[in-house]
Amino acid sequence: MLEGINYWDELKDSPSQMETCFAIFANVLELDERGEPINEKYAERRAATFLYQYCTGTLAPGEPDLEFWEVELY
Say what the pLDDT of residue 28 is.
Answer: 97
Whether residue 18 lies inside any domain: the answer is yes
Supply the pLDDT for residue 2: 66
pLDDT in tens, 2-61: 677 776 777 777 888 889 989 999 999 999 999 999 999 999 999 999 988 988 889 989
Determine, yes or no, domain membership for 1. Answer: no
Number of domains forming the structure of the chain: 1
pLDDT at 13 (0 to 100): 79
10 Å CB burial of residue 50 (0-12, 13-18, 19+) is buried
Residue 68 pLDDT more than 80? Answer: yes
| pLDDT at residue number 45 | 94
Three-class SS of residue 73? coil
Half-sphere exposure of 58 (CA within 13 A, CB side): 4
Determine, yes or no, domain membership for 39: yes
Amino acid identity of 12? K
The answer to the question of residue 2 being in a domain is no
Q: Confirm whether 59 is domain-assigned.
A: yes
- Residue 55's domain spans which residues? 7-71
